[in-house]
Structure 1
Amino acid sequence: MGRLTEAIKHLLIINVLFFIATSLYGDQMYEWFSLFFPKNEHFRLWQIITHMFMHGGFMHILFNMYALWAFGTPLERMWGRNKFLFFYLSAGLGAALIHIGVNYYYYNEGMNALVNSGLTESSVLDIINKGQYNTNWYSIAGKATIDNFLSAFNTPVVGASGAIYGILVAFGMSFPNSELFLIFLPIPIKAKFFIPVLIALDLFSGVTGYSLFGQGIAHFAHVGGAIFGFLMMWYWKKNQFNNNRWN
């Protein structure tokens, strides 16, 4: 890919600085900058942006930053720095919105079941804001509903993956015949085939709860980033906006 482009260089630096700070200050960084559910007492508005620069471990940031460099470099060279940054941040914001929207669905499903049983929303919030829950809730709404409800409320999301999925979609639409090599499948696969399959697997994992990529992955954030990336690319191509550079 050659020399680092400006936007990607600065994104790499910011992500690494956040990672170093998280290694030093741990839980405090996660509490301040991870994206919490909006009804969680730890939620702050800036987390919609800052969660994109937080990562849960070395391999997490390594894979994300490699993908940012590998797939983002040709896009920034084609679009220019400002346009690339706009696309990247917009895809990340879109991923956050989809993730929060799905969590609201799980939250409302669980909360409505508990309220219909005679509990009040405020009493339930008092309990779960303390990181607690009542085992009797499982008899009211079922294990899957309560587990999804608690996970949606309690589990913060970190990582650049949502924005990266937007970049993947843009790369696939801009360079569809580029051949990609996977570590576990050392044969070339064209981007126009590989990227849709990757997104479909994330959607499958999110809907079924059967994760093909391991636990603790915000699959709907990935899908959200891909959707917003596709919509921006579709709009830009339709309006011949994709050919303009923002330097």
Structure 2
Amino acid sequence: MAWRSCSVLCRLTGGDPFLCSVRGGSRWPHSFQQRSGFRKASKKPEAKKPEDPVPAHTEPSEAAFQNRAPLQPPVTPQRPFGRLVRPFLFTVGFTGSSFGLAAIWQYESLKSRVQSYFDGLRADWLEKVQPQKRGDVRKEINQWWNSLSEGQKTVTGIIAANAVVFCCWRVPSLQRFMVRYFTSNPASKSLCSPMLLSTFSHFSFFHMAANMYVLWSFSTSAVSMLGREQFMAVYLSAGVISTFVSYVCKTATGRFSPSLGASGAIMTILAAVCTKMPEARLAIIFLPMFTFTAGNALKAIVAMDTAGLVLGWKFFDHAAHLGGALFGIWYILFGNDLIWKNREPFVKLWHELRTRSGGGGGPGGAV
């Protein structure tokens, strides 16, 4: 649910007017009108001539406009596609960096597992010899953590980051900062960093809870299918890519409005799982008795977002949803073979650099 327009945000800050563009015919708040320079000219009473009465609803003549102070020229909506160059380069660079760092992370993780194998055996032996007390809070937390799947452990950090950002929205002194950097808008002064930060941003608790529930539900299947390193690369890249698709659609239509939410990235994960396992059975949260296949669910979601984009629905950012879903489908069908399975030369380069710097010793040096 990446909400395209949050009318509440318009009352939170007096920043860039493009951040609170008109939605559904509503007018700007009075504070925005004053700061943008479009003040209503005061009318001076004119003495009526009894011999030449003027009708009440006639338009003023050209001479009346010439006698007034010169007004600013009417603002025409612009479509600055040139402003999308930096977001495009940021999307390409961030996506490449995400997968590169994920490959290094996987290499270091595997190396660390090999090196700590005997340390782990020793730790298990010590835990049996010296068991902890039953009422220890730390032990309870460890038991809860160990009961989670690998996917749930992976997304716990993402959920925690979203919760922290949600709390920041509740701080009045941070709201102007949050609107600028944690909402994405192609008409804003800040273009690149909000493409990533807005994917961790939710203003409504229900919005955040719904997104995090879907992410938690699909995390086990997605991480078991991709691995935690590749999953994180796909998730973070999907957030930026879906935001860029939203930028392009907003610039093309001239409907500049702020967007926030993790829906674009979550749509990528959902689409990836549904594409990989189309026969899996899914159900709606509040209607568990109705089940359907993952393939049919994906078709319905893509159809709904396509209709919303074509018909101009404004409640959700359908462009971001559709961009995330298409990226998830593409990655499972082609992207995994083109990107992740070709990471070996990069990992070898990293291994050589690490070995030359003296960090390749030990039992895991030949990983």
TM-score by length of 2: 0.49
**Residue 306 of structure 2 corresponds to residue 203 of structure 1:** yes
Give the conservation status (yes or no) of the 8 Å contact 1:6–1:81. no
Paired with 1:240 and 1:50, the residues of 2 have a C-alpha distance of 24
Equivalent position of 2:278 in the other structure: 176
Equivalent residue letter for 1:88: Y
Q: What are the superposed Cα offsets for residues 107-145 of structure 1, whole Å, 9 maximum, x if unpaired?
A: 2xxxxxxxxxxxxxxxxxxxxxxxxxxxxxxxxxxxxxx
Equivalent residue letter for 1:223: L
Give the conservation status (yes or no) of the 8 Å contact 1:162–1:226. yes
Equivalent position of 2:266 in the other structure: 164
Distance 1:70 1:185, change over 3 A: closer
Distance 1:238 1:77, change over 3 A: closer
Give the conservation status (yes or no) of the 8 Å contact 2:155–2:215. yes
How many residues matched? 192
* Secondary structure class of the residue paired with 1:180: strand
Equivalent position of 1:229 in the other structure: 328
**Residue 214 of structure 2 corresponds to residue 67 of structure 1:** yes
**Residue 188 of structure 2 corresponds to residue 40 of structure 1:** yes
Equivalent position of 1:119 in the other structure: none
Q: Which runs of 5+ in 1 are unaligned?
A: 108-151
Shift, 1:99, TM fit: 0.5
Distance 1:87 1:240, change over 3 A: closer
Shift, 1:239, TM fit: 5.7
- Give the 5 Å matches for 1:1-247: 3=148, 5-25=152-172, 27-28=175-176, 29-37=178-186, 39-41=187-189, 43-107=190-254, 152-153=255-256, 155-182=257-284, 183-184=286-287, 186-209=289-312, 211=313, 215-236=314-335
Equivalent residue letter for 2:184: L
Runs of 4+ in 1 over 3 A off after TM superposition: 236-242
Shift, 1:159, TM fit: 0.2
Distance 1:167 1:184, change over 3 A: same
* Secondary structure class of the residue paired with 1:186: coil
Q: Which runs of 5+ in 2 are unaligned?
A: 1-146, 348-367
Give the conservation status (yes or no) of the 8 Å contact 2:238–2:268. yes
With 177-186 and 56-65 compared, the bigger mean Cα shift is at 177-186
Distance 1:205 1:83, change over 3 A: same
TM-score by length of 1: 0.71
Shift, 1:175, TM fit: 1.9
Distance 1:71 1:234, change over 3 A: same
Shift, 1:94, TM fit: 1.4
Equivalent residue letter for 2:185: F
Paired with 1:99 and 1:239, the residues of 2 have a C-alpha distance of 25
Counting aligned pairs with the same residue, the percent is: 26
Shift, 1:31, TM fit: 2.6
Distance 1:239 1:45, change over 3 A: closer
* Secondary structure class of the residue paired with 1:40: coil
Give the conservation status (yes or no) of the 8 Å contact 2:181–2:198. no
Shift, 1:167, TM fit: 0.7
